[in-house]
Amino acid sequence: MNELVVIKNSIAVCDSLLVAEKFHKSHKNVLRNIDNLVAQNCATRIMFKESIYTDDRGKEYRNFHMNRDGFSLLAMGFTGKDALQWKLDYIKAFNTMENLLMEQQSIQWQQTREQSKVSRKIETDSMKRLVEYAKSQGSKNADKLYINYTKLANKAIGITDRYNMTSMELNSLIMVDNMLSRLIEQAMGQQMYYKDIYPMCKQRVETSKEVAMLGMIA
């Protein structure tokens, strides 16, 4: 859901390219609609921020990031199959991200964020040692371990973006990061083969997922 809306420069925005896709519109027509809105009233300029994206072939094209008001103006006249549901989905996504922005101003969130940075640093140090450990055992792709373990932690608590998390998600991530660091260090101390460490960590994290979820609720 939150992938519909992202935070850029501390503002919740959505992307014209994705809007066109979800509402089954030509992006060219969506751009034209935005250009018309901006041309008709200069007050709309703050609602739309023009940008550039690069496609799979390396070609650059225009797109826009828009805030809630910009999206509301643009999508007001959208009709067609599932249009109402997508409008509701975008409204929900904007609400979620705007609530997150408000939460990030709280002292509790900021303190939790600092704690997560500490636990992340500890896990990163363990990962660096694991990479060297794996190389010493003949691994040719040891540098990919960092990504694999990061994805494991993210998946365990259901996030895709470590930069935009609630306090509850941060607390849960702290638990998982600390668990992985501890398991990695123990495995290397026991001289476990590096290829066996990841499956062991994955199994332990999955069986401990309910504990992490309780940490989010607390």
Residues in the chain: 218
pLDDT of residue 24: 93
| Domain residue extents for the chain | 2-103, 107-217
| pLDDT of res. 95 | 94
pLDDT in tens, 24-83: 999 999 999 999 999 999 899 999 999 999 988 999 999 999 999 999 999 998 988 789
| pLDDT number for residue 2 | 53
Q: Give the DSSP letter of residue 50.
A: E
The interaxial angle of helices 145-157 and 209-217, nearest 10 deg, is: 60
User: What are 92-120's pLDDT values in tens digits?
Assistant: 999 999 999 999 899 999 999 999 999 99
Predicted local distance difference test score (pLDDT) of residue 209: 58
Mean model confidence pLDDT for the chain: 90
Per-residue pLDDT band at 214 (split at 50, 70, 90): very low
- pTM for the structure as a whole: 0.70
Q: Which residues pair with 173 in a beta bridge?
A: none
Per-residue pLDDT tens for 139-187? 999 999 999 999 999 988 888 888 888 888 899 899 999 999 999 999 9
